A and B are shown apart, each in its own frame.
Chain A
């Protein structure tokens, strides 16, 4: 009886292991608002599945709920990597409806957007704690990366031992400074790209396969 039980246990351990290896890794796309997270998520999803993940906008906090694209198969060097992409709302420590008023929005809509954005940040932080196996951290390479939010999030990701890929986005803009991003997080590799223009996506996919495969 004992022998049978232990045999059954070891078989189920092996099968569990096989399924766990097959299960796609859930990769969260994190970063501050307007870094280009949704543009990147759409670029990846369109390149490999033909679908988009969500609407992009120059107005901050366009993504106010985490959106997931499952079973994105990326082929690199004859190897297939399957991931679930989670596009998360931009993380910030302050949300103020006044910043939306400049974008032709009336006060009521701005206040609602602000509240939803706040709920979105709560959701993004919750996903980070519970539900992601790896992180693609997207930064706008035209802005200063030394912020409280970036430092805190990268710190959390490191403390969780999650594999993290740092992307310096918006290299198509004249004032892009990739080196500034690399200097801010020297412990991580920084990959430059323009998600909007599709520049350097080959390297991004190679790194995704390497980090999350």
Chain B
């Protein structure tokens, strides 16, 4: 539930079109962006995925790749086939376990819930919207500050040390690193209109900004933003 109406608190899934014409409940046009990690009451699935990234010592960048690994692996399978020599023949759902082939048995023993939870999360996302939304979600997830990631990592570390170890092991193979870079490039190309790289640093997708009917009139570093609704201009939908 990444978007929350700050007037009435109603939440919307990522990519939801409902909010484009204002909150259906209260008509508010201010929404808060809540990354999945902070919004979900039971952060089982997220911390188990998130700590994997800080542990891989690649900073906050791969977070983009951390959220929808099965989705993206399967999509970019043919492209990433070169870095992973023997593991690519299975481009569909199997590519994720294949990446971790050598340690698959070990990690699945240690972290059975760990392997199932992300799948649940992914399935939920697919229900929410089209495939594009997962890319948007990943791009937006970059907004999560390193502090929040660290906190999530610490929580996960204290509650289930076994799974976090397994997760860090499973992402260790450097063979998958080029794939992550490619994925990141791909996501950078796909990011929505404005990407907050860090406070005060922005990347803008001009075509996206031009194409969208509503426009962002105010940004805040915590991921909040205000958009002006097309209805407010008296313009009907095309």
A residues sitting closer than 8 Å to B (CB atoms) are 91-98, 107, 110-111, 114-115, 118-119, 121-123, 125-126, 128-130, 149, 152-153, 156
Which residues on A sit within 8 Å (CB–CB) of B194? 118, 122
Which residues on A sit within 8 Å (CB–CB) of B204? 92-95, 118, 121-122
Pick the residue among B202, B215, B218, B221 that contacts A95 (CB under 8 A): B202
Does any Cβ of A come within 8 Å of B207's Cβ?
yes
The answer on a CB contact under 8 Å between B206 and A119 is no
B160 to chain A, nearest CB (A): 37
Which residues on B sit within 8 Å (CB–CB) of A115? 200, 202, 219-221
Does any Cβ of A come within 8 Å of B199's Cβ?
yes
A122 in contact with B216 given A97-B201, A110-B200, A115-B221 (CB within 8 Å): yes
The answer on a CB contact under 8 Å between B202 and A114 is yes
The answer on a CB contact under 8 Å between A94 and B206 is no
The answer on a CB contact under 8 Å between A118 and B202 is yes
The answer on a CB contact under 8 Å between B200 and A96 is yes
Cα distance A91–B201 in the bound complex, in angstroms: 15
The answer on a CB contact under 8 Å between A152 and B207 is yes
Offer 18 A-B interface pairs, CB within 8 angstroms, sorted by A.
A92-B204, A94-B204, A96-B201, A96-B202, A97-B199, A97-B201, A98-B200, A107-B200, A111-B221, A115-B202, A122-B194, A122-B204, A122-B209, A125-B209, A125-B210, A129-B210, A129-B211, A152-B206
Which residues on B sit within 8 Å (CB–CB) of A153? 206
A128 to chain B, nearest CB (A): 6
B235 to chain A, nearest CB (A): 8
Residues 165 to 213 of chain B near chain A (Cβ within 8 Å) = 193-194, 199-207, 209-211
A93 in contact with B203 given A122-B193, A122-B209 (CB within 8 Å): yes
Give the nearest-CB partner of A93 in chain B.
B204
Interface of B: prevailing SS? mixed
The answer on a CB contact under 8 Å between B217 and A125 is no
Residues 105 to 124 of chain B near chain A (Cβ within 8 Å) = none
Cα distance A152–B201 in the bound complex, in angstroms: 21
Cα distance A121–B221 in the bound complex, in angstroms: 17
A156 in contact with B210 given A95-B202, A96-B200 (CB within 8 Å): yes
Cα distance A123–B217 in the bound complex, in angstroms: 7
Which residues on A sit within 8 Å (CB–CB) of B233? 130
B221 to chain A, nearest CB (A): 7
Which residues on A sit within 8 Å (CB–CB) of B211? 129
A149 in contact with B217 given A96-B201, A122-B193 (CB within 8 Å): no
Which residues on A sit within 8 Å (CB–CB) of B199? 97, 111
B20 to chain A, nearest CB (A): 15
Which residues on B sit within 8 Å (CB–CB) of A96? 200-202
Which residues on B sit within 8 Å (CB–CB) of A94? 201-204
A188 to chain B, nearest CB (A): 19
